[in-house]
Amino acid sequence: MNNIEMITATLQEHIPEARFRIAHGQMEGHELEQVMIDFLERKFDVLVTTKIVESGVDIPSVNTIIINRADKFGLAELYQLRGRVGRANLQAYAYLLVPPISLLPKQTLRRLQAIEEFTELGSGFNLSMRDLEIRGAGNMLGGEQSGFILEMGFEMYTKILEDAVVELKEQEFAEVFASTALEIKPRIIETQVEADIEAYIPEFYIESDTERLDIYRRLYKTSTQKEVDELKAELTDRFGTGMEEIDNLFAMASLRVVASHSNIRKAELNKRTLRLFLPLEEDKLFYESGEFQKVMASVAAIKEPQIQLKQEGKNLFLQTFLKNNEGVERVSDAITIIERLTA
């Protein structure tokens, strides 16, 4: 802003045949409006301006933007500024002027690479996710930025954040929140499911990568059997039935939902062998609240199939052998056993 007039004068000196005008946020409203009208009517050739133009200034005839010191802008700002050109059926160009690459911080370089990489129409979401990865969603319980959120996934990040907040309320700041009625929710843990069955969405079933990923995301977020059934019904209505891989996928989702409500942190299916991993010993709530004793009582009561309690290192798990060796039937057997353990 401070040197905009000097820059304009320098440009005028080097390109005398071009007509230049200036626009910035400190101008009177009517004056700024007149400049933009003149630009729209092509009464001058080059508008030298601040980032004020990022907020929705659209002039179809403009096909080139030059952003000075692009390294000083955030990724969202660069995306908005770049979007000011290319609004008509004309090839658009966006030039980013920066100091030597070798002098730029790594984070700045990643921003510039991202804006260069995502040039297709509708790439705003991808840029937003890249920006989230570069800057981090922010550590809400501290001052630093987290960064690299895509390493774990946004759902996992929010789950960890929710768990941390609950832990702080119940433990470190229990006295502060003693008078606040906390919402009591059923105990649900994050369950990992591993099985040697084909469980996925084939590309020929749903051709769009975006749609397939959206279905996976929605399926991962399901926390009740009703939600799993509703999503499967929607998929069947839109794309048809008869896919073994799809049936296996939703059976696995049902297994995860049941296990997550039953203190099973990991369920492994390998041929006819079922392993159900119990919470680690650090989870005192499970072992001191009577839940562990309840599970062991169920293990003793179930005669068929026989269930054994085993330990490998820190991992405590229940192991049994299933009757069926087929995909969906095998998963159904596993679900039945878990339900019997927690009945």
Task: Kindly compute the dihedral angle of the four CA atoms of residues 193, 194, 195, 198, in this order, to the nearest 10 degrees.
Answer: 90
Residue 123 has pLDDT above 70, yes or no: no
Pairing mode, if any, of strands 64-67 and 46-49? unpaired
Q: Which architecture characterizes domain 4-135 according to CATH? A: 3-Layer(aba) Sandwich (3.40)
Pull the structure tokens for residue 313.
């290192």
pLDDT at residue 17, as a whole number: 94
The CATH 3.40.50.300 portion of the chain extends over 4-135
Residue entry with tokens 């040197």: 3
Q: What share of the chain in percent tops pLDDT 70?
A: 77
Task: Dump pLDDT digits (tens) for 278-325.
Answer: 988 877 778 888 888 989 999 999 988 889 999 998 889 999 999 887
Q: List, for residues 196-215, the tens digit of each pLDDT value.
A: 888 888 888 888 877 888 88
How far from 220 is each of 22, 160, 255, 286, 337, CA to CA, in Å? 52, 15, 12, 24, 22
State the residue for tokens 């049902």.
254
* Residue 37 confidence (pLDDT): 87
Which of the four CATH numbers 3.40.630.40, 3.90.1150.50, 3.40.50.720, 3.40.1010.10 does domain 192-341 have? 3.90.1150.50
Contacts with 130 (C-beta within 8 Å, 6 or more apart), sequence order: 75, 114, 118
pLDDT higher than 90, residue 228 = yes
Structure tokens at 23: 């626009």
Cα 62 from Cα 47, distance rounded (Å):
10
The residue type found at 124 is G
Q: Give per-residue pLDDT as tens, 281-290.
A: 877 778 888 8
Enumerate the CATH 3.90.1150.50 domain ranges in the chain, comma separated.
192-341
The mean pLDDT value of the chain amounts to: 80
Kindly tell me if the per-residue pLDDT of 1 is higher than 80.
Answer: no
Tokens for 233?
Answer: 């019904």
Share above pLDDT 90 across residues of the chain, in percent, rounded to a whole number: 27
CA distance 343 to 341: 6
Q: What are 169's two structure tokens?
A: 């309320």
* pLDDT at residue 137 greater than cutoff 70: no
User: Binning pLDDT at 50, 70 and 90, where does residue 188 land?
Assistant: confident
pTM, rounded to two decimals: 0.51
At 254 the pLDDT is 94
